[in-house]
């Protein structure tokens, strides 16, 4: 599979995001998946997939701690596009053991506990969601942080043994908004309240003017890395 990464990068230089995704579904039938967290970028990609009726399997990770506004845009997305979005949930026994031992808000206590919580609620469900897939489409953009600037539009994910494609990788935040407004794409109202990046409710806040795009994620941590383990290189 690794040998296809460069070919996909070449496609991305010559074709639109929609055209590349169409090529991917032709080259890898029934093996292309898209993960959505219902953020602005993901809503753009969902609109593209639905508009072309691409045979892409769409899924989301329901951690159990999402904002009510996220569930609202999830529902409005289903109504607008009449598509299937499969939800994956944390393993009940693993989650119960973690909360019983450390408490429901243990992620505030240490980076290690926060990452353990993310692992149970996100990383393990992701592994199930990616089973049988060859291509994983994401809403990552280079503008989202220093670590993401080091990525490319297509890359090999060693941890999950899959090719990742980021169709909006070189889009600006303004371009994303322009697409949403022009195409009347349903979006999470938290974006209007200063949330550029939206994750679990206890772990996400609005950012202040001049702050980094992902400063609102796990804001109590001092480290520069603002990742949960889903996008390991």
Of 205, 233, 207, 230, the C-alpha closest to 218 is 205
Instruction: Determine which one of 117, 118, 200, 228 is catalytic.
Output: 228
The H or E element spanning position 57 is strand 57-61
Could you tell me if 228 and 200 are in contact, meaning their C-beta atoms sit under 8 angstroms apart?
no
Q: Give the helix ranges, DSSP H, for the chain.
A: 5-14, 17-27, 40-52, 68-81, 92-102, 111-118, 124-129, 146-149, 173-182
What are the backbone dihedrals phi and psi of residue 132, each rounded to the nearest 5 degrees, phi first? 85, -5
Give yes or no: 118 in active site: no
C-alpha span between 56 and 174 (Å, rounded): 26
The position carrying tokens 């953009």 is: 141
Contacting residues for 196 by C-beta, under 8 A, at least 6 apart: 40, 173, 207, 213, 214, 216
E-strand stretches of 116-219: 135-137, 154-157, 162-165
Catalytic machinery residues: 228
């Amino acid at each position: 599979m690794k040998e296809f990464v460069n070919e996909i990068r070449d496609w991305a230089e010559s074709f639109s995001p929609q055209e590349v995704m169409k090529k991917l579904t032709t080259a890898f039938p029934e093996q292309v998946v898209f993960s959505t967290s219902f953020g602005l970028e993901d809503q753009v990609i969902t609109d593209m997939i639905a508009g072309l009726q691409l045979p892409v399997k769409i899924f989301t990770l329901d951690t159990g701690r999402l904002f009510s506004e996220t569930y609202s845009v999830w529902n409005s997305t289903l109504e607008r596009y009449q598509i299937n979005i499969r939800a994956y949930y944390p393993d009940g026994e693993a989650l119960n053991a973690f909360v019983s031992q450390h408490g429901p808000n243990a992620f505030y206590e240490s980076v290690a506990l926060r990452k353990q919580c993310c692992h149970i609620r996100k990383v393990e469900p992701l592994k199930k969601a990616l089973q049988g897939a060859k291509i994983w489409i994401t809403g990552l953009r280079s503008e989202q942080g220093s670590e993401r600037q080091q990525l490319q539009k297509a890359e090999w994910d060693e941890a999950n043994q899959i090719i990742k494609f980021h169709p909006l990788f070189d889009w600006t935040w303004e371009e994303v908004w322009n697409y949403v407004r022009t195409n009347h794409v349903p979006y999470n109202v938290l974006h209007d309240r200063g949330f550029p990046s939206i994750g679990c409710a206890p772990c996400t806040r609005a950012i202040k003017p001049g702050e980094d795009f992902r400063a609102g994620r796990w804001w109590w941590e001092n480290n520069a890395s603002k990742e949960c383990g889903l996008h390991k290189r």
